């Protein structure tokens, strides 16, 4: 864990002004009260490009307090450039403590993954969301998709899934796989692999979703049912590569495939770098243990 | 290999240092002064102020220098700064009828009160590279008119309105205008929201949308009623004073497009107005904006809205270049987690298709 620092005096703590934080907190409260409903909010320009996590950053900025410990991951990893960039931003403007350990974090901002280590009560996970509207690809109009949500008119989505099965024998969604939250709203879980979907169901942690460019916030309160859409005869299946991690040997984690030469050589590694590192520290070894990919960056 | 995206803090720091060096260019050439950008690249400054919706020439010049002349990036820098500024009030509406014009032209009347004022324009220049500028040649001062311009420069639209030929704008209903930087978008969008979005919208996008209405995708029959560029006074009524005080002057370009309207069951045939207003000197943008503004009125006028430029969601959700540039370029971020799930899926689908084919072949052989 990095120690707390003094925030940059040129900016308000957490970058956003207090009025903006209040506005976002009000949107968050509404989102928590109506699980899965997309609350419009007056998203601000952030000093990061739209599509790079501005929604997640605004939510994080609005919930972060001095006692918090922040973890930021992108593709499951703490050391990807955008995760590093966002973590540095919050260190600079809020002085908050940061960590790479899932268990130590009180707020986790993520892009495209849910950590392997189960989340606990009193943890908040903030998802960066590029496209909050699960119906967008079926119906591009906001006016129409909002009406469909209001009336729970989800026939179009079920037809899409049915057509997938009729054509391909299975549902051909592999990430951003739509879920039904609290038995009411269909929700986009952000582009996490469908492998992660079950982790959202009945989680003791608070799950917040921020879409900056699309100006929407939504939430899943703790202990809420989150069901991946499926059919009785075609039940949902959380797929992963049928391999184990070549660094730590994990058989049940989500894996990234890494091309290691130009002759078709591949290795598989845990996408969750903290999970993989902890397993290696505990003595677990994979087929290629000690590979360069396992080396930590030395500052 | 994509793992190159991992690399963390050191790589980012080095990249920033490299960028700073590239931005500065050769060290033996003097650095650009902000005064040079403000004074000699004025139209770039204007575009950045318009798309950032922040009127500050010096900061815009700084953003242009910092962005190495990338105007979309510069507008983004200025926007990100703008959001951190406190709001201490809203100005009174600008009165462009009393603008101190530098340029004012109408394409609908040969002459009109106040006259045609050509001002500084590229319109009638021959687009020949001027090699005398290559050496940084100095320019002689332009001749000055003997008499000042008429103080009265009524809008062309007010002349038409006097005859009852111009469809009157909706009267002020006392509601606060939408503030698109403070209110989430709603569709169909209020005209105040539409005009704000277009005023800060990407010049290229707004221009192309306006162009499309002229080429048959919008059924427009526009006339450039009037284009004027000049200084207007910004006034504010501080709560504690209760009367307006002048904050200063800003330069704006205003365009009023006159469009035909055949009338409807409830309205007589008349002209309608498309409106464009941008910070600084930006006639291309103001004209594009005025065309699109008119196209977006289709539904209100009972016209069939079938073309992209008439579609509120299509135009307003895609006109902002800070949004579009960010989202298009976010594709550079690693996507290997979702790509991996697609890889797995496509392999499974292919294996299953292969099985089905083999099954068919077996059956055919039997």
Question: Which pLDDT tens digit goes with each residue over B130-180?
Answer: 888 888 778 889 988 888 888 878 898 888 888 889 998 888 888 889 999
Q: Which two tokens stand for residue B162?
A: 């006097």
pLDDT for residue B1: 32
Q: What is the model's pLDDT at position A124?
A: 98
Q: Looking at beta carbons, which residues of chain B come within 8 Å of A41? A: 184
Task: Mark yes or no for CB contact A130/B327 under 8 Å.
Answer: yes
- Please tell me which residue of chain A has the smallest CA distance to B332: A52
- Say if residue A204 is in the same domain as residue A110: yes
Residue B5 has pLDDT above 60, yes or no: no
The more confident residue out of A4 and A119 is: A119
Residue A223 φ/ψ, nearest 5 degrees: 55, 50
Min Cα separation A45/chain B (Å): 5
Question: Is A271 a domain residue?
Answer: yes
> At A93, is the pLDDT very low, low, confident or very high (cuts 50, 70, 90)?
very high
Give the chain B residue whose CA is nearest to the CA of A76.
B337
Show which of residues 25-64 on chain A sit within 8 Å of chain B, judged by CB atoms.
40-47, 49-52, 54
Q: What is the pLDDT of residue A296?
A: 60
B321-351 pLDDT, tens digit each: 999 999 999 999 989 888 999 998 999 999 9
Shared domain for A189 and A100, answered yes or no, is: yes
What CATH number has the domain bearing residue A130?
A: 3.40.50.11310
DSSP string, B219-262: ---EEEEEEEEEEEEEEE--TTT-S-EEEEEEEEEEEEEEEEE-
Do A250 and A126 reside in the same domain of the chain? Answer: no
Is the domain of A77 the same as that of A197?
yes
Q: Quick one: closest CA in A to B189, which residue?
A: A143
The predicted model scores a pTM of 0.89
Q: Please check whether residue A8 lies inside any domain of the structure.
A: no
B11: which chain A residues are within 8 Å (Cβ-Cβ)? 81
| A-B Cβ pairs (cutoff 8 Å, strict) | 156
pLDDT at A292: 80
- A253 and A218 housed in the same domain: no
Q: Which of B7, B184, B338 sits opposite A81 (nearest CB)?
A: B7
How does the average pLDDT of chain A come out, rounded?
93
Mean pLDDT of B9-36: 93
* CB of A240 closer than 8 Å to CB of A268: no
**Contact in structure between B325 and A49 (CB atoms under 8 Å):** yes
Res. A299: pLDDT tops 60:
no
In a domain, A152, yes or no: no
Buried-state track A31-45, b at ≥16 Cβ within 10 A, e below 16: bbebbbbbbbbbbbb
CB burial of A79-105 (b: ≥16 within 10 Å; e: otherwise) equals bbbbbbbbbbbbbebbbbbbbbebeeb
What percent of chain A shows pLDDT beyond 90?
Answer: 83
Mean pLDDT of A7-14: 87
Interface test with A, best of B77, B318, B330, B346 (most A CBs within 10 A): B330
Residue A150 lies in a domain: no
Distances (CA, A) of B323 to A151, B56, B72, B137, B319: 30, 22, 11, 40, 8
Q: Which of A186, A205, A228 is the last residue of a domain?
A: A228
Residue A161 lies in a domain: no
User: Would you state the pLDDT for residue B4?
Assistant: 41
Q: What is the average per-residue pLDDT within A151-171? A: 94
Q: Using a pLDDT cut of 70, give the percent of chain A over it.
A: 98
**B291 and B213 Cβ atoms separated by less than 8 Å:** yes
CA distance B358 to chain A (A): 16
Looking at the structure, do residues A92 and A121 belong to the same domain, yes or no? yes
What is the interface pTM, i.e. ipTM, of the complex?
0.86
Q: What are the start-end ranges of the E strands in chain B? A: 100-105, 222-236, 245-261, 270-279
- For chain B, give the percent of residues with pLDDT over 90: 64
Would an 8 Å CB–CB cutoff place A81 in contact with chain B? Answer: yes
Residue A155 within a domain: no
Question: Is A169 inside any structural domain?
Answer: no
What is the tally of structural domains in chain A?
Answer: 2
Do A199 and A288 lie in one domain? The reply is no
Cross-chain residue pair B340–A17, CB shorter than 8 Å? no
Whether residue A144 lies within 8 A of chain B, CB to CB, comes out as: no
Q: What chain A residue is nearest to B324 in terms of C-alpha separation? A: A50
Chain A residues inside the 8 Å CB shell of B10: 297, 299
Q: Residue A83 pLDDT more than 90?
A: yes
Among the listed residues A14, A210, A245, A277, the single catalytic one is A245
| Record: contact A112-B187, CB cut-off 8 A | no
Among the listed residues A36, A210, A212, A286, the single catalytic one is A36
Identify the pLDDT of residue A73.
Answer: 96
Residues of B in contact with A49 (CB under 8 A): 76, 322, 325-326, 329-330
Task: Choose from B340, B349, B350, B356 for mutation: most chain A CBs within 10 A.
Answer: B340
Mean pLDDT of B106-111: 90
Strands A69-74 and A107-111: parallel
How sure is the predictor about B243, in pLDDT bands with cuts at 50, 70 and 90? Answer: very high
Range of the domain at A273: 240-299
Q: Tell me what the mean pLDDT of segment B71-85 comes to.
A: 94
Alpha carbons B296 and B312: distance in angstroms, whole number: 6
Quickly state the pLDDT bin for B268 (edges 50, 70, 90). confident
Is the C-alpha dihedral spanning B102, B61, B36, B246 positive or negative? positive
Both A189 and A64 in a single domain?
yes
Chain A CB contacts of B340 under 8 Å are 193, 241, 254-257, 271
Complete DSSP assignment for B7-44: -HHHHHHHHHHHHHHHHH--TTSPPPPHHHHHHHSHHH
pLDDT at B7: 60
Chain B residue with Cα closest to A50: B326
A90 is a domain residue:
yes
> CA-nearest residue of chain A to B72?
A49
Helix then strand count (H, E) for chain B reads: 12, 4
Same domain? For A47 and A192 the reply is yes
A15, A170, A174 member nearest B341 (Cβ):
A174
pLDDT surpasses 50 at B108? yes
A211's enclosing H/E stretch is strand A206-211
Strand segments (E) across B262-324: 270-279
pLDDT band at B220 (very low <50, low <70, confident <90, very high): confident
Q: Are B82 and A80 inside 8 Å of each other by CB? A: no
A261 reaches B (C-beta below 8 A): no
For the segment A227-251, the average pLDDT, to the nearest whole number, is 93
Shared-domain flag, residues A96 and A219:
yes
Higher pLDDT, A168 or A254: A254
Residue A283: how many other CB atoms lie within 10 Å: 7
CB atoms B340 and A293 under 8 Å: no
Q: Which residues of A touch B66 (CB under 8 A)?
A: none
């Amino acid at each position: 864990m990095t120690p707390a620092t003094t925030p940059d005096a040129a900016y308000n703590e957490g970058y956003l002004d207090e009025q903006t934080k209040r506005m976002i907190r009000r949107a968050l409260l509404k989102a928590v009260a109506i699980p899965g409903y997309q609350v419009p909010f007056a998203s601000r320009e952030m000093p990061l490009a739209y599509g790079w996590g501005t929604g997640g950053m605004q939510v994080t900025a609005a919930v972060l307090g001095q006692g918090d410990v922040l973890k930021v991951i992108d593709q499951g990893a703490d050391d990807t450039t955008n995760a590093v960039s966002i973590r540095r931003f919050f260190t600079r403007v809020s002085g908050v403590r940061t960590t790479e350990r899932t268990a130590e974090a009180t707020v986790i901002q993520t892009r495209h993954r849910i950590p392997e280590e189960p989340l606990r009560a009193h943890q908040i996970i903030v998802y960066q969301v590029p496209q909050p509207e699960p119906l967008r690809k079926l119906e591009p109009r906001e006016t129409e998709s909002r009406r469909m949500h209001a009336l729970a008119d989800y026939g179009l989505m079920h037809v899409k899934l049915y057509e997938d099965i009729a054509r391909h024998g299975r549902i051909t969604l592999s990430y951003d796989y739509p879920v039904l939250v609290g038995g009411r709203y269909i929700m986009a879980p952000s582009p996490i692999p469908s492998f992660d979907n079950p982790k959202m169901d009945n989680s003791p942690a608070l799950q917040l979703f921020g879409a900056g460019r699309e100006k929407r916030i939504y939430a899943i309160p703790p202990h809420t049912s989150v069901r991946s859409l499926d059919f009785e005869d075609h039940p949902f299946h959380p797929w992963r590569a049928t391999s184990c991690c070549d660094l730590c040997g994990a058989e049940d984690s989500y894996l990234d495939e890494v091309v290691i030469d130009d002759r078709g050589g591949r290795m598989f590694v845990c996408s969750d770098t903290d999970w993989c590192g902890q397993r290696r520290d505990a003595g677990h070894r994979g087929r290629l243990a000690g590979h360069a990919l396992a080396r930590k960056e030395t500052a | 290999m994509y793992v190159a995206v991992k690399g963390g803090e050191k790589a980012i720091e080095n990249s920033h240092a490299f960028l700073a060096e590239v931005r500065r260019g050769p060290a033996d050439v003097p650095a650009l002064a902000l005064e040079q950008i403000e004074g000699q690249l004025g139209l770039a400054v204007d575009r950045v102020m318009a798309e950032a919706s922040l009127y500050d020439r010096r900061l815009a010049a700084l953003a242009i220098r910092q962005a190495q002349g990338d105007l979309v990036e510069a507008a983004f820098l200025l926007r990100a700064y703008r959001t951190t500024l406190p709001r201490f009030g809203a100005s009174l509406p600008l009165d462009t009828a009393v603008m101190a014009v530098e340029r004012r032209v109408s394409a609908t009347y040969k002459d009109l009160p106040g006259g045609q004022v050509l001002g500084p324009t590229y319109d009638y220049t021959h687009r020949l590279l001027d090699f005398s500028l290559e050496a940084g040649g100095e320019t002689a001062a332009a001749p000055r008119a003997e008499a000042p311009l008429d103080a009265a420069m009524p809008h062309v639209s007010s002349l038409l309105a006097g005859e009852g030929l111009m469809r009157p704008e909706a009267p002020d209903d006392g509601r606060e205008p939408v503030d698109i930087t403070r209110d989430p978008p709603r569709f169909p969008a209020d005209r105040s929201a539409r005009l704000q979005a277009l005023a800060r919208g990407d010049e290229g996008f707004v221009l192309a949308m306006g162009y499309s209405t002229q080429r048959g995708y919008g059924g427009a029959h526009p006339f450039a009623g009037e284009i004027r560029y000049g200084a207007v006074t910004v006034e504010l009524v501080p709560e504690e004073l209760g009367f307006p005080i002048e904050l200063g002057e800003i330069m704006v370009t205003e365009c009023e497009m006159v469009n035909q309207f055949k009338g409807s069951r409830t309205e007589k045939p008349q002209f309608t107005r498309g409106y464009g207003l941008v910070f600084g000197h930006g006639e291309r943008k103001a004209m594009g904006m005025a065309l699109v503004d008119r196209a977006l009125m289709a539904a209100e006028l009972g016209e069939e809205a079938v073309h992209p430029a008439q579609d509120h969601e299509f135009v307003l959700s895609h006109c902002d270049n800070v949004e579009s540039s960010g989202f298009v370029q976010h594709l550079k971020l690693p996507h290997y987690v979702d790509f991996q799930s697609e890889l797995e899926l496509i392999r499974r689908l292919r294996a299953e298709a292969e099985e089905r084919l083999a099954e068919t072949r077996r059956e055919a052989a039997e």
